[in-house]
Structure 1
Amino acid sequence: MDKYQQSQKNQLFKSDTHDPYRSQRFEGSAICPQCDSVYQAGNWTWKSPENTVIHDAQPVKCPACRRIDDNMPAGTLKLSGSFLLNHRTEIVNLIEHTEKKEKAEHALERIINLTDSGDDLIVTTTGIHLVHRIGHALEAAYKGDSDYRYGDNEYGLSATWRRDE
């Protein structure tokens, strides 16, 4: 078997990872009773599209609120290094600002927790895109080394960022 045939075989049998929290699809519109995000035409958003009737929408908990309630993050970012210890407040402000911008456009991208673990800071998120945004924002503002690893069997992203003085 040549390289091309092998690559085709690998693609044929490789299953796509899916997010079990986003598998719920239904007709009509819905409103999350926890965060007031709106489901319309297959998307969760903060604003209902124009000419959309929401008054008959059913209450359905959005995937982000379900992840937060279950404490099941899709993304995890671990920050470490002596630079973090000396600039923690600035870094936390950057993380929160990045989340605010991302959340304004994408209702399902939110921070679940900011947790201290020894000298490290662990950020858990409801989506993988927010981890990317935070990682890139840290690299742009403070440099450092980042590493991103996607889950093989499940939907998720684990990332690390480190900078020493």
Structure 2
Amino acid sequence: MKAPRQLLPRSATPAPAIIVHEARAVPLLCQGAVMDGWRDQHTVCPTCGAFFDGLAWTWSLPTSYALQRTCPACRRLSEKRPAGRLILEGPMTSEQQHTIDALLQRRADRELQIHPMERIMEVRDQPGRIIVTTTSAMLARGLYVAVATTYKGTLQIYYDAQADCLNMHWTKWRDCCGLLRRRASLSNSHIG
């Protein structure tokens, strides 16, 4: 029979070890954005003002001795090299396209407040199609989830290793908005 596990008070639990790595000369992949080859602690992007604290890019205020180096998101923007591409396709009216554009922008703005490396690069509206390019694959996936939760549809995903880009193709074959409105009106008519 095992002895009962002894619970330690919170102050008695050992603190996790912090491991500090020296700068390396090998390329690092950081959420789809290639770094400069090593992680510089206390780096600020001169373009957007994002601050790298040695672990992640944040919007916090940099220290006075921060290095000036372009962040991966700004580099992707300047090179026009997206890490995520979301293609939304199906029968959409211009009003529905504007609604979806607003939904995508709200989701991207929310993500940008927390994650400085996740930005929309470009949104192209075409009849029945919206093409969104992003600086991170995670943002493209988050935008897909926002649209799929609201409008349903089918998704195809493929990764282009040569371009280092996650491609997502979402298709809506029927008027889901009309279907949802009809369903809501039917449920409301049974209430009264």
Instruction: Please tell me the TM-score bracket, short chain as reference.
Output: 0.7 to 0.9
* Counterpart selection for 2:157 from 116, 123, 148: 148
**Partners of 1:159 and 1:110 in 2: CA distance:** 16
For 1:68, which of 77, 85, 110 is the aligned residue? 77
Displacement, 1:104? 1.2
Please, which moves more after superposition, 76-85 or 129-138? Answer: 76-85
Q: Are the equivalent residues in 2 in contact too, given 1:114–1:121 (CA < 8 A)?
A: yes
Answer whether contact 1:76 1:157 (CA < 8 A) is retained. Answer: yes
Cα distance, 1:61–1:147 mapped onto 2, change above 3 Å: same
Q: Does 1:43 align with 2:56?
A: yes
Query: Does 1:110 pair with 2:123?
Result: no
Three-state SS of the structure 2 residue aligned to 1:82 is: coil
**Match for residue 131 of structure 1 among 127, 130, 140:** 140
The root-mean-square deviation of aligned C-alpha atoms, in Å, is 2.1
Q: Report the TM-score when normalising by structure 1.
A: 0.79
* C-alpha separation in 1, matches of 2:160 and 2:93: 26
Unmatched segments (≥5 aa) in structure 1: 1-16
Give how far 1:21 is off.
2.2
Q: Distance in 2 between matches of 1:160 and 1:125?
A: 14
Listed one character per residue, the Cα deviations across residues 25-73 of structure 1 (whole Å, up to 9, x for unaligned) are 233311111110001113111114xxxx711111111000000011000
Instruction: Structure 2: state its 5+ residue gaps.
Output: 1-27, 176-192
Residue aligning to 1:13: none
Instruction: Give the conservation status (yes or no) of the 8 Å contact 1:21–1:66.
Output: no
Q: How many residues align?
A: 145
In structure 2, the partner of 1:5 is none
For 1:60-95, what per-residue CA distance to the aligned partner results, in whole angstroms no more than 9, with x for missing partners? Answer: 110000000110000001111113645011100000
CA–CA separation in structure 1 for the residues paired with 2:138 and 2:117: 10
8 Å Cα contact 2:33/2:83 also seen in 1: no
Residue type at the aligned position of 1:143: K
8 Å contact 1:79–1:162 — kept in the other structure?
yes
What is the match of residue 25 of structure 1? 38
- Which shifted more, 107-116 or 153-162? 153-162
Cα distance change, pair 33–141 in 1 and its aligned pair in 2 (3 A): same
CA contact (8 A) 2:51 2:60 kept: yes
Q: Work out which of the residue numbers 69, 77, 80 in structure 1 matches 2:86.
A: 77
Equivalent pair of 2:77/2:121 in contact (CA under 8 Å): yes
Q: Aligned equivalents of 1:42 and 1:84: distance in 2?
A: 44
